[in-house]
Structure 1
């Protein structure tokens, strides 16, 4: 793809600018053109959650233009939105966090990562057991809490790994912290990451430690994700080559296998917002890529509709303080990576379009339309930093400013 020249925007030195992308994990906003092909007919995470609880109170997102971009009960269209607003369509194959974040960063996949609705084949399980020196139990599709409840006592008796997956492309390994040391669990997951190559090149290997006793098992905050390496150049690579500082919040560095970014790992949305504040308060320039995971991990995967709605409202209450911390030459982008509609029978991700909101002191309020790929966001960030773009996507930076 030919490089596009950077856009000329008013004043300021691109080297001194800041940009912040906040991904509300799993907060899709309705059907994409190919939603039915993924088995997700009827999914509309944001719209369905709002309807299910009789409307959500999101006045600050509303002022940016959320209700103008997509229908959300309780969030009417703003007469004069102060942000840029629109929606983005997924173009990459798949509907998981890795695929979504990679697409935001300009990288598309031609095929989805492999999934295992019947569990992993014997050659995968046998190789993992042999490499780690422990047997494997479960090897099933299940939620994390359910699989631990079913197999924890067997793990205590046998010392075996609890291996499971979901509708997503993940190889998850659960282990009680008192029975199998954390370091051993992490080493086992690193071994699995090295072993899982094509055709079994799953998106992520996930360490899932837990504690507790029968009837009271609890997953701990010591989760770690081991992602496959991005197979091409991403926005993070472009910014790194240009000397633009990059910081992550949440699991972002895991999703990019640590390439081009390091993250402050967080336990929940509140800690994620705190980490974003810390970056806004201390970073003199550069790019922050943040993931707020509670929508997906705590509520979407558990079909917890009230919890999901409450998390949306909590983020909205936190938003004014983030906006107040923006400097004149800052851009804040709010979006998502896929859907995870807790109102549907499925407990897994959904193929959905995602919201796009942009805030900043110099941003004009107005429609950004329907973007043909999440990658338009990555192209715009590169443009903001004065960098030519060779990835997928087209910058909408000129549409953000008054001419």
Structure 2
């Protein structure tokens, strides 16, 4: 028993799901990986090529070719839509409770009344003929998330020079008590004021209103975040089951914000190079453990509809993966994957519902092995639990026998 490592290249999908024409027509023909390679013709990711990215994609594009020594597959999304929070819950082997899809203004009065009863000062912001957001204690805003699928997520945004993050989390949990959307993302940053947040207020479809988080500057300095999900039970997820077996669990990047494991070592952050360096140090220090890293900068580039920036972040990740591989032992398993798509060329700035690559690395691979299509990304969590000999998570089928074949 050694290390089981998952690296999630956030939003790096490899082609629209079959159900997209019916459930998400705006995502038709999306293919994040392929379209980035087409948009940046000189792009070349030798480590991802070696691990079988193009084999999983099913075609060669630009300078990228099929690998002759790779174990690869791909996975469908079992969760509704194309969401990072739900995607990571799925990866870890649980199936979230079906959420309600609604605009914040459909429940804004209920939220305002609840917060007022909790002792907060609350006011509405917005013109008479448009949807509103809430300002809480003159330091926090509550509204729709405009960066992911509209109606799935509410944001609690804050100015951490004016309020402690633990108090922001308290407000976020109070909002969570009365809403049924998939996520309440509670976050804040330093160096911004309430005026910065309100200056980035936007309205979409005359139904959704929220803060454009990147435009507000909230991500720029000392960013803090916690994702509060609807109907999530961490006790049936692979990381919790692995930790309960006295095996160390390390969560890095956005995964540390959205997967809750009592006793895990958490290393939140956004900067890709810093996170990979942290992963390398942990791998060198711990011969056994479950490691899960999310690289968020790829997703941020997708939201910005910037294929050049996306490619640049992928090139860095490819280099860092090349540095990681020699540090792995014979018994270690590495999985490089995604959680959904975010095609920066598709014509909108939201996630795209795509299949994701499953690229496996285990020393000694000497042939091309197409391991097939997983019906759910939960198969990865199930494989991790099987690797460590723990109880299986709530959902998923282990691929460990295939990997050991």
Name the TM-score class by shorter chain. 0.7 to 0.9
Quick one: structure 1 residues 272 and 311, their matched pair in 2 at CA, closer, same or farther if it must change by over 3 Å? Answer: same
Quick one: structure 1 residues 344 and 396, their matched pair in 2 at CA, closer, same or farther if it must change by over 3 Å? Answer: same
- Match of residue 239, structure 1, among 234, 237, 242: 242
Q: Note the alpha carbon deviations across 1:222-269, whole angstroms, 9 max, x for none.
A: 221132362361111221222221111112232123446331112311
Moved over 4 A (4+): 117-120, 136-140, 212-217
Counterpart residue number, 2:227? 226
When the two structures are superposed, what TM-score results if normalisation uses the length of structure 2? 0.82
5 Å-filtered alignment, 1:45-124, equals 45-54=32-41, 56-70=43-57, 71=59, 73-74=61-62, 76-81=64-69, 83-109=70-96, 111-112=98-99, 114-116=101-103, 120-124=107-111
For structure 1, the 5+ residue unaligned runs are 1-13, 141-150
Counterpart residue number, 1:206? 186
Quick one: structure 1 residues 44 and 132, their matched pair in 2 at CA, closer, same or farther if it must change by over 3 Å? Answer: farther
Q: Any conservation in 2 of the 1:239–1:382 contact (CA below 8 Å)?
A: yes
Counterpart residue number, 1:189? 169
Q: CA deviation at 1:91?
A: 1.2
For structure 2, the 5+ residue unaligned runs are 128-132, 200-214
Quick one: structure 1 residues 385 and 353, their matched pair in 2 at CA, closer, same or farther if it must change by over 3 Å? Answer: same
Q: CA deviation at 1:105?
A: 1.3
Q: CA deviation at 1:101?
A: 1.0
What is the CA–CA distance in structure 2 between the aligned matches of 1:79 and 1:345, rounded to whole Å?
31
What is the CA–CA distance in structure 1 between the aligned matches of 2:182 and 2:237, rounded to whole Å?
19
Secondary structure in 1 matching 2:217? strand
When the two structures are superposed, what TM-score results if normalisation uses the length of structure 1? 0.82
Alignment length (residue pairs): 369
Calculate the aligned-residue CA RMSD, in Å.
Answer: 2.9
5 Å-filtered alignment, 1:4-403, equals 14=1, 17-36=2-21, 37-39=23-25, 40-54=27-41, 56-70=43-57, 71=59, 73-74=61-62, 76-81=64-69, 83-109=70-96, 111-112=98-99, 114-116=101-103, 120-128=107-115, 130-131=117-118, 133-136=120-123, 138=125, 159=138, 161-166=140-145, 167-168=148-149, 169-178=152-161, 180-181=162-163, 183=164, 185-197=165-177, 199-211=179-191, 218-219=217-218, 220-228=221-229, 230-231=232-233, 233-259=236-262, 261-296=264-299, 298-365=300-367, 366-402=369-405
Quick one: structure 1 residues 347 and 240, their matched pair in 2 at CA, closer, same or farther if it must change by over 3 Å? Answer: same
**Range with greater deviation from structure 2 (380-389 or 112-121):** 112-121
